[in-house]
Amino acid sequence: MVRIKDIALKANVSVGTVDRVLHNRGRVAEDVRQRVLQIAEELQYEPNLIARTLGSNRAYRVAALVPDPGRDPYWQQPRIGMEKAEKELRRYGVRVEPFVFNQYEVGSFLEQAAALAENPPDGILVAPLFYRESLPLFEAWQRQAIPFVAFNTQIPESQPLSYIGQDSYGSGFLAGKLLHYGQPGPATFLVAHIAEDFTNSAHLIRKEQGFLSYFEQHDPTGQYTVIHADLAVDTVQRQLDALLWQHPGIGGIFVTTSKAYVLAPLLPRRIRLVGYDLLPENQRYLRDGAIDFLINQNPQGQGYWGIVRLADHLVFRQPVAPLYHLPLDIVTKENLQYYLV
CATH number of 168-296: 3.40.50.2300
Task: State how far the Cα of 134 lies from the Cα of 143, in Å rounded to an integer.
Answer: 14
Q: What CA–CA distances, in Å, run from 250 to 164, 246, 257, 268, 295?
A: 34, 9, 19, 11, 21
Q: CATH topology of 60-165+299-325 equal to that of 168-296?
A: yes
> Closest Cα to residue 56, out of 7, 86, 23, 11?
23
Q: What CA–CA distances, in Å, run from 239 to 215, 246, 252, 290?
A: 25, 11, 16, 19
CATH class assigned to 60-165+299-325: alpha beta
What is the CB neighbour count within 10 angstroms for residue 169?
Answer: 18
Which residue type is seen at 326? L
| 339: phi then psi, degrees, rounded to nearest 5 | -95, 0
- Residues 241-282: tens digit of each pLDDT: 999 999 999 999 999 999 999 999 999 989 999 999 999 999
Domain residue spans of the chain: 4-47, 60-165+299-325, 168-296
CATH architecture of 4-47: Orthogonal Bundle (1.10)
Q: How far is CA 61 from the centre of its chain?
A: 20
- Residues 174-232: tens digit of each pLDDT: 999 999 998 878 999 999 999 999 999 999 999 999 999 999 999 988 999 999 999 99
